[in-house]
Amino acid sequence: MQRRVIVAGAGLGGVVAAMKLAQGGVDVTVLEKRRESELGPDQVDSMDLAPMNYAGIEIPERYIKTKIPLSFFSRLPDVQPLSMSFREESFNLRIDRKDFINYLISLARKAGVNFEFGRDITAPLILGDRVVGVETQFGRVYADLVIDACGMNSPVRAQLPDFMLSERTVSKYDYLHAYRIYFKRVPGAPEPERPYAIYLWYPGSKGFNWVLSDDPEEVDVLLVSFAELEPEFVDETLSQLRAVNPHIGEEVTRPGAYHTIPLRQPLSVLVADGYAAVGDSAFMTLPFKGSGMGLCLMAGTMLAETVLGDKDGFYTAETLWEYQRRFFTEQGSARMTETLGKNILPYISLEDIDYGFKNGVLTQKDLDALGASAGVGSMISNVDLSSFIGKITGIITNATLRKALTGLVRRASKADRIVSALPEKYDREEVAKWQKRYLELFEESRNSDDTSVTVFGS
Ligand SMILES: Cc1cc2nc3c(=O)[nH]c(=O)nc-3n(C[C@H](O)[C@H](O)[C@H](O)COP(=O)(O)OP(=O)(O)OC[C@H]3O[C@@H](n4cnc5c(N)ncnc54)[C@H](O)[C@@H]3O)c2cc1C
């Protein structure tokens, strides 16, 4: 009998998994709350080429661009910005997100996936031990497997029962509040010296802003913070940025929008009977910067291959466990180490940033090393971590921050061991024990004002 899979939400990982499942002969329907024309944030984002190759998706030429080095600016007027440099010209993808989701949907449709738009999912349907479908505003939809691709605030993940080892809350510093807007460039205004400017000013909030000027027509302005962004704060920050970037015009080319971005370790348990989470609903972003597209494509591929491997179509936690094992084996250790690094950020004050710029805590040489590696994530994940932290703890004066950094080195050394301890087969008790060990690693590293909040359904 042909099995039926529902993908809840047209998240990127869900659409990729849907396409591959349909190619494998599975009956797949994507239920998405928005209209098709409203899909994808109206923004341009970066991704490496590798995840597209991993997922076997042809890369449209129009996305391939030269990588732009980042420059970090201090709020102090007399301090020179620090710029990353790449040893050689390197390329990545600059992706118009509306174009990209339409591209993936066209591939999925070609493979036979059915899409239903305007379908708002309100909850999972649970029967006994199993997820058997979803509740929507138009009634119940049953399936043999529900793939949760509803994003960070997924109402499906957040309402799974405890015995499925679900996680319902995230911590205050486990996600960012973001505001993104694009303005027309002022004709004739001087070209900015640094096309990718990151401003580590965060008066009143922990966060940063960027002004990205790689496009001849428009300027990309992003504000991110661990604190909620109030409209007055946004207006004030935009005028500050305009004052030092006269090329930012007043005319809006892509409307301003508020977002949340997960910035934490991947969800501890990705599967249950009849259920698997992928993408932002499973917190699959690079925890230092919030990029998630690449992980979506890779995890969507891993999930589809696991599902297709279950020839009997049981789709239980036991048969889906291979997906969890593969994701954690390929990605777990790096994402865990990055999360521990990210958990340092709440310990850093604005004064520490000023001190860092004035006293060379981060030098041009460090940034060159970053540019040569694949970015903050891979540097945090590689063996240089302890010598780098040894160097900076010798310079910084904030004792609490120094202690947090020393703890980071100790905890990061446990990541590999925790991944290796992942049970080979799904056994609820064993998995619960592993989950506890996994989550405790991050709990220990939290700042004292880092409290848990429930964030689903918004
Ligand atoms: C400002 C910003 C900048 C970013 N920059 C980058 C970058 O440069 N590079 C990068 O790789 N990543 C970036 N990201 C992250 C990236 O957008 C996500 O990690 C990635 O899109 C994965 O999310 P997703 O597709 O799983 O979920 P989402 O993008 O959240 O998609 C979820 C889908 O589910 C639908 N949905 C939600 N709830 C329901 C419901 N109840 N019923 C039915 N459907 C529902 C939504 O409408 C949506 O279509 C950025 C994110 C933001 C916000």
Query: Residue 243 is part of a domain; what is its CATH number?
Result: 3.30.70
- Our answer on whether the CB atom of 338 is closer than 6 Å to any ligand 1 atom is no
| Torsion 447-224-334-380 (CA) sign | negative
Least confident of 9-23, 84-98, 155-169: 84-98
Q: Which of the listed residues 262, 277, 308 is the one where a domain comes to its end?
A: 262
Q: How far is the CA of 178 from the centre of ligand 1 (A)?
A: 13
Q: Flag whether 147 is in a domain.
A: yes
Residue 205 binned pLDDT confidence (cut-offs 50, 70, 90): low
Q: How far is the CA of 63 from the centre of ligand 1 (A)?
A: 19
Q: Flag whether 111 is in a domain.
A: yes
Domain housing 144: 4-66+92-168+264-330
Question: For residues 445 and 428, what is the distance between their CA atoms, to the nearest angstrom?
Answer: 26
- Tell me if residue 44 falls in helix, strand or coil: strand
Among protein residues, the one with the nearest Cα to ligand 1's atom 37 is 150
Residues 274 and 181 in one domain: no
Q: Flag whether 427 is in a domain.
A: no
Q: Flag whether 61 is in a domain.
A: yes
Q: Flag whether 215 is in a domain.
A: yes
Q: What percent of the chain has pLDDT over 70?
A: 91
Distances (CA, A) of 447 to 354, 403, 455: 21, 11, 20
pLDDT at 125: 98
E strands, 138-232, in order: 139-142, 145-148, 169-171, 175-185, 196-199, 207-212, 218-225
| Torsion 273-279-283-287 (CA) sign | positive
- Our answer on whether the CB atom of 12 is closer than 6 Å to any ligand 1 atom is yes
Q: Flag whether 422 is in a domain.
A: no
Q: What angle do CA 147, 11, 305 make, to 5 degrees?
A: 50
Q: Flag whether 445 is in a domain.
A: no
Pocket test for ligand 1, best of 15, 36, 45, 259 (most atoms within 8 A of CB): 45
- Our answer on whether the CB atom of 178 is closer than 6 Å to any ligand 1 atom is yes
Encode 71-88: b = buried (16+ Cβ within 10 Å), e = exposed: bbbbeeeeeebbbbeeee
Question: For residues 296 and 214, what is the distance between their CA atoms, to the nearest angstrom?
Answer: 25
Taking a C-beta distance cutoff of 8 angstroms, is the pair 71, 196 a contact? yes
Residues 47 and 183 in one domain: no
- Our answer on whether the CB atom of 34 is closer than 6 Å to any ligand 1 atom is yes
Q: Flag whether 185 is in a domain.
A: yes
pLDDT at 458: 41
Chain-centroid distance of CA 132 in Å reads: 28
Residues 96 and 212 in one domain: no
Pocket test for ligand 1, best of 119, 148, 293, 296 (most atoms within 8 A of CB): 293
Q: How far is the CA of 13 from the centre of ligand 1 (A)?
A: 10
Print the SS3 string covering 361-413.
CCCHHHHHHHHHCCCHHHHHHCCCHHHHHHHHHCCCCCHHHHHHHHHHHHHHC
- Our answer on whether the CB atom of 11 is closer than 6 Å to any ligand 1 atom is yes
- Our answer on whether the CB atom of 155 is closer than 6 Å to any ligand 1 atom is yes
Compute the average pLDDT of residues 431-455: 83
Cross-strand partners of 47: 93
Residues 192 and 326 in one domain: no
Question: For residues 416 and 420, what is the distance between their CA atoms, to the nearest angstrom?
Answer: 6
Maximum Cα–Cα distance across the chain: 71
- Our answer on whether the CB atom of 121 is closer than 6 Å to any ligand 1 atom is yes
Beta strands 139-142 and 145-148, pairing class? unpaired
Residues 283 and 248 in one domain: no
User: Which among 133, 113, 102, 125 has a CA at the least distance from the CA of 34?
Assistant: 102
- Comparing 206 with 237, the larger pLDDT belongs to 237
Instruction: Reply yes or no on whether the pLDDT at 348 is more than 50.
Output: yes
- Comparing 120 with 377, the larger pLDDT belongs to 120
Residues 160 and 275 in one domain: yes
Question: For residues 86 and 64, what is the distance between their CA atoms, to the nearest angstrom?
Answer: 17
Cross-strand partners of 271: 276
Tokens matching residue 251: 């005319």
Q: How far is the CA of 280 from the centre of ligand 1 (A)?
A: 6
The residue assigned the tokens 């694949």 is 374
- Our answer on whether the CB atom of 93 is closer than 6 Å to any ligand 1 atom is no
- Our answer on whether the CB atom of 285 is closer than 6 Å to any ligand 1 atom is yes
| Torsion 68-70-73-78 (CA) sign | negative
User: Which among 75, 377, 55 has a CA at the least distance from the CA of 198?
Assistant: 75
Pocket test for ligand 1, best of 121, 280, 338 (most atoms within 8 A of CB): 280
Q: Which of the listed residues 208, 231, 262 is the one where a domain comes to its end?
A: 262
- Our answer on whether the CB atom of 297 is closer than 6 Å to any ligand 1 atom is no
Question: For residues 345 and 171, what is the distance between their CA atoms, to the nearest angstrom?
Answer: 14
User: Which among 331, 435, 349 has a CA at the least distance from the CA of 398?
Assistant: 349
Taking a C-beta distance cutoff of 8 angstroms, is the pair 184, 217 a contact? yes
The residue assigned the tokens 């799904």 is 426
23-67 pLDDT, tens digit each? 999 999 999 999 999 999 999 999 999 999 999 999 999 999 998
- Our answer on whether the CB atom of 104 is closer than 6 Å to any ligand 1 atom is no
User: Would you say how long the chain is, in residues?
Assistant: 458
Question: For residues 6 and 23, what is the distance between their CA atoms, to the nearest angstrom?
Answer: 15
126-173 pLDDT, tens digit each? 999 999 999 999 999 999 999 999 999 999 999 999 999 999 888 888
Residues 271 and 122 in one domain: yes
Q: Which of the listed residues 234, 262, 290 is the one where a domain comes to its end?
A: 262
* Minimum-distance ligand 1 atom for the alpha carbon of 296: 22
- Our answer on whether the CB atom of 263 is closer than 6 Å to any ligand 1 atom is no
- Our answer on whether the CB atom of 124 is closer than 6 Å to any ligand 1 atom is no
Residues 126 and 191 in one domain: no
Q: Global pTM? A: 0.94
φ/ψ of 354, rounded to 5, equals: -60, -45
- Domain CATH code at residue 132: 3.50.50.60
Tokens matching residue 93: 């993808």
Taking a C-beta distance cutoff of 8 angstroms, is the pair 442, 356 a contact? no
Q: How far is the CA of 311 from the centre of ligand 1 (A)?
A: 31
Q: How far is the CA of 151 from the centre of ligand 1 (A)?
A: 6
Residues 40 and 100 in one domain: yes
Residues 237 and 200 in one domain: yes
Question: For residues 296 and 312, what is the distance between their CA atoms, to the nearest angstrom?
Answer: 26
**Number of structural domains the chain divides into:** 2
User: Which among 238, 235, 280 has a CA at the least distance from the CA of 259?
Assistant: 280
Residues 112 and 189 in one domain: no
Among protein residues, the one with the nearest Cα to ligand 1's atom 52 is 261
Residues 184 and 58 in one domain: no
- Our answer on whether the CB atom of 30 is closer than 6 Å to any ligand 1 atom is no
Distances (CA, A) of 387 to 39, 234, 366, 371, 445: 45, 38, 12, 18, 20
pLDDT at 451: 66
Instruction: Reply yes or no on whether the pLDDT at 268 is more than 80.
Output: yes
